[in-house]
A and B are shown apart, each in its own frame.
Chain A
Amino acid sequence: MLRGSLEQLARLRAFIAATAPQFGCGAEDVFALELACDEAVTNIFNHVFDDQMGEVQVELWRQDDAVCVTLDYYGRSFDPSQVAEPDLTAPLEQRPEGGLGLYFMRQLMQEVRFEFDAVKGNRLTMRRALGEN
C-alpha cells in the first residue's frame, strides 16, 4: 500500500525491483515494470489526488507467461482514449510536455486496462508478457 504522495515513487520502484524477479522477470522486465508503474502512480498522484495525500494499493503477480500488476485507488475517472498519443517525430518547439507517461505504459506493457467504479474504486491493470524482450 502506497500512502502519501510523490515521495512514494522510490518505495514503489524498490518494491518492484525486490518482488518482480521472484515471478521470473529479467532485468528488462523489471525496468519496464518500474517505469510503467512509476508513470501510472505519478499520474494518479498528480491528476487524481491533485497533489494531495492519497492511497494506492499495488499488487504484482504471475499469470501464465506474463507478469501482472494492479493499482487500486479511489478518485475521478478519465477517458484514456481521449489522451492523445504524443507525436515523437515533431520538432522540438512542438513537442507536448504531457502524455508521455501513458504512452510509455502502453509501449512497455502488452495490456493497459482502466476500470472506473465510484463505489468499489478504480483499478488499473497492466500485463507484460515475459520472454518477449
Chain B
Amino acid sequence: MDFKSEMRGAILVIAISGNLDALTAPALADAISTQLREDKTRVVANLAGLEYTSSAGLRVLLNGVKAARQQGGDLRLAGAQPDVNKVLELSGFTSIMKSFPDVETAVASFA
C-alpha cells in the first residue's frame, strides 16, 4: 500500500494505492490523524489506485470520517474500483460515507 497527499485548494487529497489490510492499514490511519491534527479536516480519499481492502482498511476510513466530522469537516471517497465498492457495500458504509466517481467531483462537493 502506498499513499500520497496533496492539497487542492483547501481540500486535502490522499491517493491510496495497492492493498489495504491489517498489516498496511495502520500507516494510513497515522497519516490521516496527522493531517486532521493539522486542521486539514476536509479530506478526499482517492481510491482509484486501491486494488483491495479488507475490513481493516474500512475501519481506518470510518475512523477518519468520524474524526473529520467531529472537527467540522468530512472525509469523502473518490474513484472506488468495483472490488473495493463491493466491500464498502457489504459493510453498509455506503449509507454513511459520501462516495464520488472521481477526485474532481469529490473536491467540488466541498464547495
- Which of A34, A95, A104 gathers most chain B CB within 10 Å? A95
**A42-B66 in contact (CB<8A):** no
A contacts with B, residue count (CB < 8 A): 26
Q: Smallest distance from the beta carbon of A72 to chain B beta carbons, Å?
A: 20
A97 and B86 CA atoms in complex are apart in Å by 19
Residue of A nearest to B65 (CB): A92
Q: A92-B96, A97-B63 in contact; A42/B90 too (CB < 8 A)? A: no
A50 and B110 CA atoms in complex are apart in Å by 41
Task: Map CB proximity to B onto A1-39 as digits: 1 under 8 Å, 0 otherwise.
Answer: 000001101100100000000000000000100110011
A35 and B55 CA atoms in complex are apart in Å by 9
**B63-A42 in contact (CB<8A):** no
**A107-B90 in contact (CB<8A):** yes
Residues of B at the A interface (CB closer than 8 Å) are 19, 21-23, 52, 54-56, 58-59, 62-63, 65-66, 69, 83, 86-87, 90-92, 95-96
Residue of B nearest to A34 (CB): B52
**A39-B92 in contact (CB<8A):** no
Question: What residues on B are CB-neighbors of A92 within 8 Å?
Answer: 62, 65-66, 69, 96
Residues of A at the B interface (CB closer than 8 Å) are 6-7, 9-10, 13, 31, 34-35, 38-39, 42, 45-46, 86, 88-89, 91-93, 95, 97, 100-101, 104, 107-108
Question: What residues on A are CB-neighbors of B56 within 8 Å?
Answer: 42
Question: What residues on A are CB-neighbors of B55 within 8 Å?
Answer: 39, 42, 100-101, 104
Residue of B nearest to A32 (CB): B86
**A6-B90 in contact (CB<8A):** no
Query: Which one of B21, B63, B69, B90 contacts A10 once the chains associate, using CB atoms below 8 Å?
Result: B21
**A10-B19 in contact (CB<8A):** yes
Residue of B nearest to A8 (CB): B23
Question: What residues on B are CB-neighbors of A95 within 8 Å?
Answer: 62, 96
Q: A97-B59, A97-B63 in contact; A89/B21 too (CB < 8 A)? A: no
